């Protein structure tokens, strides 16, 4: 099955074409085209992602990326006959709320043959609603233009499925499995009974872990996104053996549930800076290391509790924050502590938002649930179920 996937939930515009085979038992993916445009440089000027700015950038870049992946997949072929005015009217109606998108789509696709694609997959949530709508509207327009089924995909399922793609670790996922999802918008422990059957058994009560990284980085005067910056400073503190002078709390470490809270940890950094003055470069490294250690300790403790509660033998750790080496290594280390446990993480490239994982999730969904046409809506707080 050939899947064209679109991801616009936050500040990455991404498109891919993937050929998937093997079914849910042994899924296998061949990437035919893949493109991504990060808006990080634009948003970093403002210290965070601005939804309306993200929407504008998605609308500008999405048609260009679509053309790019179709060319990569050798599916961008001139056609002889004109698309009817009636069809363009339908498409204009779908794209009315997306400024500029209709013109861009018409310019790029009016003279192009229907590509050899079996399904279009698009992220419908969770994420920034205006940003999600750009991807959804575009997917629906192309679905009508080419008469191809469009499937809405949960971004978090995409992160889970990302471990199956372009990964040297081909050990199979057996159930029950567990997923620790750590991103800029989410911190969740998910129990997985089978592909497509998810129950969130623990989550953050306030900030997501990536959000806490970003906010602490801002307090230290570092640019957005702060995760990689903090991680770099923490690494330097360890390499240089900077003395430990800061102690931060490990929120909810001993609570009996599987929930997290990172807002107190972030506030503790704020108070530390308020009480001790602007930190020197060495002090910044010390704070970054202590913050990273505190986050890692809580994530690992709760995940271990979830492993013990559920008896899962597979742990999937995914989401942008798994790009953090310290957290990644601590997660991998659980394999040594729990005999028989397999810890699966995506490749570095597939850790942060991308379209390949949306295609992967679409393949899994299409294998386990029958196709049914429904109106797709952007749901900012879409839950995994
Ligand atoms: O999954 P993702 O790309 O987007 C969302 O769906 O949120 O995750 C982005 C988050 C940001 O908060 C970013 O700071 C964080 O992942 N992140 C990191 C690292 N690289 C990215 N956090 C800690 N350490 C990193 N190396
Ligand atoms: Zn994400």
Instruction: Tell me how far the alpha carbon of residue 324 lies from the centroid of ligand 1, in angstroms.
Output: 8
Is the per-residue pLDDT at 167 higher than 80?
yes
At residue 379 the predicted structure's pLDDT band, cuts being 50, 70 and 90, is: very high
Answer yes or no: are the C-beta atoms of 247 and 172 closer than 8 Å.
Answer: no
Outline where the chain has alpha helix (H). Answer: 40-44, 51-72, 85-94, 101-109, 129-146, 155-161, 209-219, 226-240, 263-276, 281-310, 325-337, 356-368
Answer yes or no: are the C-beta atoms of 377 and 126 closer than 8 Å.
Answer: no
Is the per-residue pLDDT at 158 higher than 90?
yes
CA distances from 284 to 166, 236, 287 (A): 36, 10, 5
> What is the predicted pLDDT for the residue at 254?
95
Indicate the burial class of 60 (C-beta count within 10 angstroms; 0-12, 13-18, 19 or more).
Answer: middle
CB distance 135 to ligand 1 below 6 Å:
no
> What is the predicted pLDDT for the residue at 100?
87
Answer yes or no: are the C-beta atoms of 39 and 11 closer than 8 Å.
Answer: yes
- pLDDT of 277-325, one tens digit each? 999 999 999 999 999 999 999 999 999 999 999 999 999 999 999 999 9
CB distance 320 to ligand 1 below 6 Å:
yes
At residue 148 the predicted structure's pLDDT band, cuts being 50, 70 and 90, is: very high
Instruction: Tell me how far the alpha carbon of residue 182 lies from the centroid of ligand 2, in angstroms.
Output: 8
Answer yes or no: are the C-beta atoms of 154 and 384 closer than 8 Å.
Answer: yes
Atom of ligand 1 lying closest to residue 185 CA: 7
CB distance 185 to ligand 1 below 6 Å:
yes
Is the per-residue pLDDT at 46 higher than 90?
no
Atom of ligand 1 lying closest to residue 352 CA: 3
Residue 170 neighbours by CB under 8 Å, 6+ apart: none
CB distance 61 to ligand 1 below 6 Å:
no
Instruction: Tell me how far the alpha carbon of residue 371 lies from the centroid of ligand 1, in angstroms.
Output: 33
Token representation of residue 42: 């634009």
Other C-beta atoms closer than 10 Å to the C-beta of 239 total 9
Residue nearest to atom 2 of ligand 1 (CA): 320
- pLDDT of 218-232, one tens digit each? 999 999 899 999 999
CB distance 316 to ligand 1 below 6 Å:
no
Alpha-carbon span 301 to 280, nearest angstrom? 31
Answer yes or no: are the C-beta atoms of 35 and 68 closer than 8 Å.
Answer: yes
Q: What is the mean pLDDT of the chain?
A: 95
CB distance 353 to ligand 1 below 6 Å:
yes
Radius of gyration of the chain (CA): 22
Token representation of residue 234: 């923490």
The mean per-residue pLDDT over the stretch 313-340 comes to 96
HEC assignment per residue over 239-273 = HHCCCCCCCCCCCCCCCCCCCECCHHHHHHHHHHH
At residue 375 the predicted structure's pLDDT band, cuts being 50, 70 and 90, is: confident
Ligand nearest to the CA of 210: 1
Atom of ligand 1 lying closest to residue 186 CA: 7
Residue nearest to atom 10 of ligand 1 (CA): 184
Listed residue (95, 77, 79, 97) closest to 87, CA to CA: 95
The mean per-residue pLDDT over the stretch 109-136 comes to 96
Atom of ligand 1 lying closest to residue 209 CA: 12
Mutation test residue for ligand 1: of 320, 323, 330, the one with most atoms within 8 Å of CB: 320
Instruction: Tell me how far the alpha carbon of residue 226 lies from the centroid of ligand 2, in angstroms.
Output: 15
Ligand nearest to the CA of 182: 1
- pLDDT of 21-33, one tens digit each? 999 999 999 999 9
Alpha-carbon span 5 to 353, nearest angstrom? 12
Is the per-residue pLDDT at 99 higher than 90?
no
CA distances from 129 to 122, 227, 382 (A): 13, 23, 10
Residue nearest to atom 18 of ligand 1 (CA): 227
């Amino acid at each position: 099955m050939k899947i064209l996937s679109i991801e616009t939930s936050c500040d990455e515009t991404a498109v891919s074409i993937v050929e998937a085979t093997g079914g849910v038992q042994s899924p296998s993916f061949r990437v035919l085209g893949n493109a991504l445009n990060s808006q990080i440089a634009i948003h970093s000027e403002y210290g965070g992602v601005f939804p309306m700015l993200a929407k504008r950038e998605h609308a500008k870049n999405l048609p260009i990326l679509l053309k790019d992946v179709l060319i990569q997949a050798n599916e961008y072929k001139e056609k002889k006959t004109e698309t009817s005015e009636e069809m363009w009217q339908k498409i204009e109606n779908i794209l009315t709320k997306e400024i500029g998108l209709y013109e861009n789509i018409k310019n790029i696709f009016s003279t192009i043959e229907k590509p050899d694609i079996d399904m279009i997959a698009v992220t419908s949530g969770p994420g920034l609603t205006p940003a999600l709508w750009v991807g959804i509207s575009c997917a629906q327009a192309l679905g009508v233009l080419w008469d191809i089924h469009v499937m809405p995909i949960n971004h978090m399922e995409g992160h889970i499925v990302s471990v199956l793609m372009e990964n040297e670790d081909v050990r199979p996922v057996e159930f029950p499995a567990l997923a620790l999802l750590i991103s800029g918008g989410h911190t969740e422990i998910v129990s997985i009974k089978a592909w497509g059957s998810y129950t969130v058994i623990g989550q953050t009560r306030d900030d997501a872990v990536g959000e806490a990284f970003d906010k602490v980085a801002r307090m230290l005067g570092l640019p957005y996104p702060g995760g990689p910056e903090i991680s770099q400073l923490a690494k330097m503190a360890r390499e240089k053996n900077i003395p430990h002078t800061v102690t931060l709390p490990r929120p909810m470490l001993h609570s009996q549930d599987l929930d997290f809270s990172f807002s107190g940890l972030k506030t503790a950094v704020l108070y530390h800076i308020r009480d001790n003055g602007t930190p020197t470069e060495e002090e910044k490294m010390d704070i970054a290391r202590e913050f990273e250690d505190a986050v890692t300790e809580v994530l690992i403790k709760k995940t271990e509790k979830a492993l013990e509660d559920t008896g899962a033998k597979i742990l999937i750790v995914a989401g942008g924050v798994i790009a953090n080496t310290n957290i990644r290594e601590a997660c991998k280390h659980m394999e040594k502590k729990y005999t028989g446990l397999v810890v699966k993480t995506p490749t570095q490239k597939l850790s942060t938002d991308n379209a390949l994982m949306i295609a992967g999730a679409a393949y899994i969904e299409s294998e386990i649930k029958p196709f049914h046409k429904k109106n797709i809506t952007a749901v900012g707080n879409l839950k995994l179920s």
